Structure 1
Amino acid sequence: MVFKRLLGSFGMGGLAVDTVLDADAVLPGSALTGQVHLKGGGADFTIEHIALELVARVEVEHDDGESDGTVAFGRFGVGGDFRLAADERRGIPFSVALPWETPVTELYGHPLWIALGVRTEVSVAGARDKGDLDPFSVRPLPAQEAVLGALGQLGFGFKSADLEYGQIRGTGQELPFYQEIELTPPARYAHQVNEIEVTFLANPGGMEVVLEADKRGGLLSGGHDAVSRFAVSHSDVGQINWYAEVDGWVRQLVERRAVHGSHGWPGHGDTHHGGGAQYGRGSHSYGHGGHDHGEEQGHRSGPGMGTVIAAGAAGLAVGVVGGMVAAEVVDEVGDFFEGDDEE
């Protein structure tokens, strides 16, 4: 980004700020590092406070439809209480911890068109001014990559990804929104489901994987949603046959009967029922009487499993480009960083 001039009423020309991030892409739960560059104006300034705010563009469901809004999901003080002389340049290094539930914005270099940004706020003489949004990219954790890679191997294709405002009941979700990655089914499931949505809720010990299927209706029944949830440990990623594991998850999901009210939406009478998953050997289903696949299918992977997972995830990522109307999505993401209205 370029310097943005702030607080023009304070001295001639005011103060200019530019936030520069170090890495091209980071992991959920890792440190986002960089520097806030300040350039003094025509007078001395006392910088009272510098803060960084993590923001995301999310979809909000209402009774009469959907709308987009900006939601903050982290705020960090990174400096302040110093004097900046006229025309002085100074860099303020920072390192802030991303939440473990930070959404994934790319898969093997292919963007998912999820809009995340860092907004810089500078306080001078009791007045606060927010600068432009600086985008940052997030790549999947190894466990997330393994699950997506297995789905790619199973023949699922990428359809879209978005951020939904609200809580998924019965999980340990902490952020006010969650990410849904929508996938199209392979031929063997196409007659049973329209699509499958994947949500990852990561934490320091592992992650919850929420799978939701939009199931097709039959001659005597309408379509419905089915939901299954599974717990995965970060430490077991390299010891699981992910193809067999995720195949078991999908089979269980497709064979399940309807589960109604799987998502709790603010303002619709639903509340968040927090519940932490237990992480042990392999991965385990829980929440709706699912079967445990951890011991049956969670055995050590054979040679080259990491390469196979990578190939599956890369194959799934190819659909990221072809599965969306790229020009429209790029415009929406661009609008987010050019000028957003905070909700």
Structure 2
Amino acid sequence: MFKKILATVGIGAAKVDTILQTEHLQPGQKFSAEILIQGGDVEQEISGLDLALMTKVKVEDDNGDYFTNHVIESWHIVDHCTVAAGELKRIPFEARLHSETPITELNQGLNQTQVWLATGLNIDMALDPTDKDPIYVYPNEAVRTFMQAIERCGFNLVKSDVEKGFLQASTFQSTSGCYQELEYKPNASNLFDLKEVELSFVPEAHKTHVLIELDRAFRGDGYIDMTIEHDQVNLSQLCDQLEHLLN
């Protein structure tokens, strides 16, 4: 009886850990993991096990800006199971990273982008153990080449963050409930009438959409968008397209 009471208040509770085959991924890439549930001092009934792909988003409201956690995608792993005292359960898991997962691996500017996998057990009448595993997200070839092109056009990346909301353009819209903004400033050799350029990417399986926000010194702000087919990525062509769009 005493051990049963200890279990309901979370003492000696089961613990969970997710072991990723690799934490270095690109948006849309498949990943494999093994979820370990380690039993505590007593047998416990687990009412659910969930895995969530998370990021930190900036929210703007009347009280100012603040950051909060956002679920990009979630997976329900187990509905119900019993974990015996000291038992180790191993659950294999495979999924695909959401195609709109923000990029974390940027080599310039103030990088406020974070992405992680959160694993949680739902134990009736008990404290909920959680596990948090960082994900290092790299740009796909189209995004990487586009970033190289805008740098060749005379812009430097100064800031990256993720904002809450959806993007919508003439030919595409986002689905994850958040979007990453890469903020670029012109360098001394820049020839365009621009104070700032912000890029947001919406990748799909075979193409990547780009929404470009232009902050012009004399002509006001504006938006343009374009789509890069993954089998037609070419740095020189992207530089030419960007120069035309930015003029």
Q: What TM-score does the superposition give when structure 1 sets the normalisation length? A: 0.63
Q: 1:58 to 1:250 in 2, by over 3 A?
A: farther
Q: 1:182 to 1:109 in 2, by over 3 A?
A: closer
Deviation string for 1:172-200 (max 9, x for gaps)? Answer: 21111111111122334366211211110
The answer to whether structure 1 residue 27 and structure 2 residue 26 are counterparts is: yes
Matched residue, 2:46: 47
Which structure carries more helix by proportion?
Answer: 1
Deviation string for 1:13-58 (max 9, x for gaps)? Answer: 1112222222131010112322222211111223332110122111
User: Take 2:32 and 2:135, find their aligned partners in 1: how far apart are those partners?
Assistant: 11
Q: Secondary structure at the match of 1:129?
A: coil
The answer to whether structure 1 residue 232 and structure 2 residue 231 are counterparts is: no
Q: What TM-score does the superposition give when structure 2 sets the normalisation length? A: 0.85
- Report the alpha carbon displacement of residue 82 of structure 1 after superposing the two structures with TM: 3.3
Q: Secondary structure at the match of 1:54?
A: strand
CA RMSD of aligned residues (A): 2.6
Q: 1:129 to 1:99 in 2, by over 3 A?
A: same
Q: 1:69 to 1:125 in 2, by over 3 A?
A: closer
Matched residue, 1:243: 236
Q: Secondary structure at the match of 2:99?
A: coil
Q: How do 1:86-165 residues align onto structure 2 when only pairs under 5 Å count?
A: 86-107=85-106, 112-125=111-124, 129=128, 131-165=130-164
Maintained 8 Å contact 1:17/1:131: yes
User: Take 1:10 and 1:67, find their aligned partners in 2: how far apart are those partners?
Assistant: 33
Matched residue, 1:4: none
Matched residue, 1:56: 55
Matched residue, 1:193: 194
Structure 2 residue identity aligned to 1:248: Q
Maintained 8 Å contact 1:59/1:164: yes
Maintained 8 Å contact 1:12/1:43: no
Deviation string for 1:57-116 (max 9, x for gaps)? Answer: 111122453221111111102235433221122222211222111111103799944111
Maintained 8 Å contact 1:193/1:214: yes
Q: 1:62 to 1:246 in 2, by over 3 A?
A: farther
The answer to whether structure 1 residue 177 and structure 2 residue 178 are counterparts is: yes
Which structure carries more strand by proportion?
Answer: 2
Identity of paired residues, percent? 27
User: Take 1:151 and 1:243, find their aligned partners in 2: how far apart are those partners?
Assistant: 11
Give the stretch that moved more between structures: 193-202 or 116-125: 116-125
Structure 1: any 5+ residue segments left out of the alignment? 1-6, 218-222, 256-343
Q: Secondary structure at the match of 1:149?
A: helix
Deviation string for 1:292-336 (max 9, x for gaps)? Answer: xxxxxxxxxxxxxxxxxxxxxxxxxxxxxxxxxxxxxxxxxxxxx
Maintained 8 Å contact 2:7/2:13: yes
Maintained 8 Å contact 1:162/1:180: yes
The answer to whether structure 1 residue 205 and structure 2 residue 198 are counterparts is: no
Q: 1:225 to 1:64 in 2, by over 3 A?
A: farther
Matched residue, 1:85: 84
Q: Secondary structure at the match of 1:189?
A: coil
Deviation string for 1:135-190 (max 9, x for gaps)? Answer: 21111111111111222333321201011112223232111111111112233436
Structure 1 residue identity aligned to 2:176: L
User: Take 2:46 and 2:153, find their aligned partners in 1: how far apart are those partners?
Assistant: 55
User: Take 2:82 and 2:229, find their aligned partners in 1: how far apart are those partners?
Assistant: 48
Q: 1:39 to 1:236 in 2, by over 3 A?
A: same
Maintained 8 Å contact 2:20/2:33: yes
Q: Secondary structure at the match of 2:147?
A: helix
Runs of 4+ in structure 1 over 4 Å off = 108-111
Q: 1:24 to 1:110 in 2, by over 3 A?
A: farther
Maintained 8 Å contact 1:119/1:130: no
Aligned residues: 240
Maintained 8 Å contact 1:166/1:178: yes
